[in-house]
């Protein structure tokens, strides 16, 4: 039997829906308390209320707020936080407390659900009581999950839970069989519906995260390995091309890849004398009749060679190699690795509406090249088996600086990243 991720052909049993993907059986009133969270279940309706130890703000969610910037006070002046800053900090602390409490409740329910899954899978006959107990546990689990403001964690927990149901479902028969009879296995029907419901909940989380993903941290190890195995080799090929031309008595020109890319992305070049070249106006002109990208590239190259002619040759050549898209592409690929590891099941991110800018400024003997990228992500594949395009309120930002020394050697800063995902739709 295959895994359940969409509608099933199994017969439905008489249970309703509670939340996106939840099951709601007719149950008697139950009341309890777990980890500072009051739990009330009345006729299948699950209600969570926080205890006094876990206050929850009723104001705008944190992920829709902007922190108020405050200047750092002088060391000699004692200055307290502003009321607005304290309010933001208090709300953030309250949300963290709430997240922790609901996470503990969800984790305890995971163990209970796993035991119930095993019992139901081993049952030799249809057992509506076990199905109802499991449905109640699922409803409590989903209610706890939907209270946690951490889509990276909650989506993983829901997808893991769905996998447990699918795994048990694979081992169950569609019928109970005896010597002289057979009957439909409604336990398996229930398991299939539960898996589908969890899939819908995961989809709801992924499609509508409305969250700042601070947990998507780019790995320094992946960054370093990718540089050693790929990006540095691209720079080396550029240097070899320029050196080969010089050895043949030809004047220094841009490497081929840079000559192509200077018409594809914005860049600003500023030398020690304060002279600045911005390629944006020339880039716009390439769409005019009779101009074209080759002519524009030649004009940009002429400006770049003129503006950098006072630089040491090794530094100049290294700069030319760092003005193509090798470094921006490196940043995107490093981000993709972090995304897929931290958000399993969400799919592979792909940039859309991309804005790229390279700014190279001579600072003393060094040249600092800053790469800035912003794009709206779309996701392909993953557990939702399709393409999700997030709206224009969603944004991924990546930035890094390469410092090129006089001898042509380069030092790279860490990649600073941020991601906010608001709302997506299937395309």
- Contact by Cβ (8 Å): 187, 126: yes
Average pLDDT, the chain: 82
Question: What's the pLDDT at 82?
Answer: 56
Q: Is the pLDDT of residue 69 over 50?
A: no
What are 206-264's pLDDT values in tens digits?
Answer: 999 999 998 788 999 999 999 999 999 999 999 999 999 999 999 999 999 999 999 98
Question: What's the pLDDT at 391?
Answer: 96
Least confident of 69-78, 273-282, 302-311, 345-354: 69-78
% of residues, the chain, pLDDT over 90: 63
Q: Is the pLDDT of residue 76 over 50?
A: no
Question: What's the pLDDT at 184?
Answer: 87
- State the CB neighbour count (10 A cutoff) for residue 105: 24
What are 1-55's pLDDT values in tens digits?
Answer: 444 444 433 333 333 344 444 454 433 334 443 443 333 333 333 333 333 333 3
Task: Work out the pLDDT band at 62, boundaries 50, 70, 90.
Answer: very low
- Contact by Cβ (8 Å): 6, 162: no
What are 120-158's pLDDT values in tens digits?
Answer: 999 888 999 999 999 999 999 999 999 999 999 999 999
Q: Is the pLDDT of residue 307 over 80?
A: yes
E-only strand ranges, 324-426: 348-363, 366-381, 386-390, 395-404, 410-412, 416-421, 424-426
- Angle (CA) 112-118-121 rounded to 5° is 135
Question: What's the pLDDT at 109?
Answer: 94
Question: What's the pLDDT at 182?
Answer: 74
For the chain, the residue count is 427
Q: pTM (2 decimals)?
A: 0.74
* β-strand pairing of 366-381 with 386-390: antiparallel
Q: Report how far residue 84's alpha carbon sits from residue 97's, in angstroms, rounded to the nearest whole number.
A: 20
- Contact by Cβ (8 Å): 349, 337: no
**Closest of 93, 100, 110 to residue 35, by C-alpha:** 100
Domain parsing of the chain, residue ranges: 30-65+83-207, 220-426
* β-strand pairing of 348-363 with 266-270: parallel
């Amino acid at each position: 039997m295959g895994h359940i991720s969409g509608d099933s052909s199994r017969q439905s049993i008489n249970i309703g829906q509670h939340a996106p993907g939840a099951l709601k059986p007719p149950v008697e009133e139950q009341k309890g308390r777990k980890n500072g969270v009051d739990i009330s279940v009345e006729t299948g309706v699950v209600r969570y209320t926080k205890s006094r130890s876990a206050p929850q703000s009723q104001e705008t969610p944190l992920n829709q707020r902007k922190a108020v910037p405050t200047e750092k006070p002088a060391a000699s002046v004692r200055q307290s936080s502003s009321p607005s800053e304290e309010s933001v900090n208090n709300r953030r602390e309250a949300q963290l407390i709430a997240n922790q409490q609901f996470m503990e409740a969800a984790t305890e329910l995971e163990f209970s659900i796993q035991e119930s899954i095993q019992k139901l899978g081993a049952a030799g006959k249809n057992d509506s009581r076990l199905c109802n107990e499991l449905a109640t546990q699922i409803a409590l689990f989903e209610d706890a999950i939907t209270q946690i403001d951490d889509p990276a964690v909650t989506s993983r927990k829901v997808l893991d839970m769905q996998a447990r149901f699918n795994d048990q479902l694979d081992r169950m028969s569609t019928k109970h069989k005896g010597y002289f009879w057979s009957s439909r296995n409604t336990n398996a029907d229930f398991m299939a519906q539960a898996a589908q419901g969890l899939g819908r909940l995961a989809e709801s989380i992924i499609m509508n995260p409305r969250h700042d993903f601070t947990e998507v941290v780019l790995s320094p190890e992946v960054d370093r390995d990718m540089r050693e195995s790929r990006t540095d080799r691209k720079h080396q090929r550029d240097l070899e091309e320029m050196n080969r031309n010089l050895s043949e008595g030809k004047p220094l020109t841009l490497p081929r890849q840079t000559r192509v890319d200077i018409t594809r992305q914005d860049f600003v070049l500023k030398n020690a004398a304060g002279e600045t070249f911005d390629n944006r106006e020339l880039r716009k002109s390439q769409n005019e009749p009779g101009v074209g990208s080759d002519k524009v590239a030649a004009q940009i190259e002429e400006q770049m060679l003129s503006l950098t002619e006072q630089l040491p040759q090794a530094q100049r050549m290294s700069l030319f190699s760092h003005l193509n898209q090798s470094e921006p592409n490196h940043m995107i690929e490093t981000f993709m690795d972090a995304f897929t590891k931290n958000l399993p099941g969400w799919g592979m991110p792909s940039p859309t509406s991309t804005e790229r800018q390279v700014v190279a400024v001579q600072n003393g003997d060094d040249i600092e090249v800053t790469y800035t990228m912003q794009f709206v992500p779309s996701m392909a594949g993953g557990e939702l088996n399709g393409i999700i395009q997030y709206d224009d309120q969603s944004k991924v930002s990546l930035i890094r600086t390469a410092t090129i020394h006089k001898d042509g050697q380069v030092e790279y800063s860490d990649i600073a990243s941020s991601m906010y995902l608001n709302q997506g739709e299937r395309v």
